[in-house]
Amino acid sequence: MLDDVEAVVLVGGKGTRLRPLTLSAPKPMLPTAGVPFLAHLLSRIRAAGVRRVVLGTSYLASTFEEHFGDGESLGLELTYVVEEAPLGTGGGIANVAEHLTSENVMVFNGDVLCGTDLGAVVNTHRHTDADVTLHLVRVQDPRAYGCVPTDDDGRVLAFLEKTEDPPTDQINAGCYVFKRSVLEEIPRGRVVSVERETFPGLLERGARVSGHVDNAYWRDMGTPGDLVHGSADLVRGVAPSAALPGPVGESIVLEGADVAKDAFVFGGTAVGRDVVVGEGAKVEGSMLFDGAVIAAGAIVESSVIGAGARIEAGAHVRDAVIGDRAVVGAHCELKGGMRIWPDVQLPPHGIRFSADV
């Protein structure tokens, strides 16, 4: 149990890859499998035995505190520290240093969905007497991440953030254990990137930086595709969480939702409060935020439908993000990464890929 370890969760980024969804909510508060995304991460931190968590925020900071309060409902003691202007990942960590007391501190990127055994990461840190230990995973395309080669002893050899020519498919999973004394060396009061400045600097001066590699479930929720697939994995129980509001299965349907008897809602779809799904509609592997309406006969696949948005009869939406309150008119067809900004209204037949109907 990690009851002698404190945690820091970084939730400061604007999440620009998820606009238009993040215009009104910070990315970690987007409803994911029925609860704000951050609840899943916090529940896993708590399940590992950690009690004290400091949230380092900068963007729409008050929304976190309004929802999670002092953390008691999660069994946590939550402290909020707000950056006046975003200080970057390293600056965000340094900015909360004065609130930490434990000898070792876990730090989490707040947008990662992960099934790793956190106790095992801390064990690696202790056994190797590391200054910092990084959780590492292997991915198909490492270019969007921090590439982290290690030697046979698990010692980190380099940290290459978002490089076009990564030497290995092993990447930084966004979960670290810091000796607090090392964390306290990060400069305060200015922008610091832990990936581009702190880790390369530690390696240069010969600090012991360990890698803990495993093949647990892992996904960065930064892109709409990852958000929607990660949410479906949570709903279906593929990604572990102690914060689901219902049993795992083909869908999670929150109270007040009205799903027609002959509608098909499956593939890990999360149906928010007061959503309406009409007759014969088909919704697969999607996120329907509170108050969204999927009219009769509409098809929604692997898409995020914002709060109060309407997908009118016979429309077909695939791999798209529909902003809050937007309207996709009857028989429109949207696909392949399209994003509709909040409040935009597409008229019936307004946009199609196939012949007229």
Question: Angle CA(174)–CA(192)–CA(173) in degrees, nearest 5?
Answer: 10
Pick the piece of the chain touching ligand GDD (CB under 6 A) from 84-92, 228-236, 240-248, 297-305. 84-92
Cβ-based burial of 111 (10 A; exposed 0-12, middle 13-18, buried ≥19): buried
With residue 177 as reference, give the H or E element that holds it.
strand 170-179
Provide the minimum distance between the beta carbon of 199 and Mg ion in the complex, in angstroms, as a whole number: 16
Interface with Mg ion in residues 203-222 (CB under 5 A): 220, 222
CB nearer to ligand GDD: pick between 88 and 329 = 88
Show the binding pattern over residues 248-287: x = contacts ligand GDD (CB under 6 A), - = does not: ----------------------------------------
Selected from 53, 79, 118, 161, the binder of ligand GDD by CB under 6 A is 161
**Which one of Mg ion, ligand GDD, none is in contact with 161 (Cβ closer than 5 to 8 A by kind)?**
ligand GDD
If one asks whether residue 87 binds ligand GDD (CB under 6 A), the answer comes out as yes
Show the binding pattern over residues 26-65: x = contacts ligand GDD (CB under 6 A), - = does not: ------------------------------xxx-------
**Which one of Mg ion, ligand GDD, none is in contact with 201 (Cβ closer than 5 to 8 A by kind)?**
none
CB nearer to Mg ion: pick between 142 and 297 = 142
DSSP 25: S
* Rounded-to-5 percentages of helix, strand, coil across the chain: 25, 30, 50
Selected from 50, 53, 97, 112, the binder of ligand GDD by CB under 6 A is 112
Q: Tokens at residue 219, please?
A: 């996904």
CB nearer to Mg ion: pick between 220 and 333 = 220
Selected from 12, 38, 59, 111, the binder of Mg ion by CB under 5 A is 111
Q: How far apart are CA 106 and CA 51, in angstroms?
A: 12
**Which one of Mg ion, ligand GDD, none is in contact with 56 (Cβ closer than 5 to 8 A by kind)?**
ligand GDD
CA atoms within 13 A on the CB side of 345: 2
Provide the minimum distance between the beta carbon of 166 and Mg ion in the complex, in angstroms, as a whole number: 17
Pick the piece of the chain touching ligand GDD (CB under 6 A) from 83-91, 230-238, 313-321, 330-338. 83-91
With residue 206 as reference, give the H or E element that holds it.
none
| Closest residue by Cα to residue 83 from 39, 26, 16 | 26
- Sign (positive or negative) of CA dihedral 7, 111, 274, 61: positive
Q: Alpha carbon 171 to chain centroid distance?
A: 17
Alpha-carbon Rg for the chain in angstroms? 21
Q: Is-cis flag, bond preceding 20, omega within 30?
A: yes
Q: Tokens at residue 290, please?
A: 């509170």
Interface with ligand GDD in residues 128-157 (CB under 6 A): 145-146
Beta pairing class for 146-147 and 160-161:
antiparallel
Please report, as ranges, the residues that interact with ligand GDD according to CB under 6 A.
Answer: 10-13, 56-58, 83, 86-89, 92, 109-112, 145-146, 161, 171-172, 174, 195, 220, 222
The footprint of Mg ion (CB under 5 A) covers 111, 220, 222
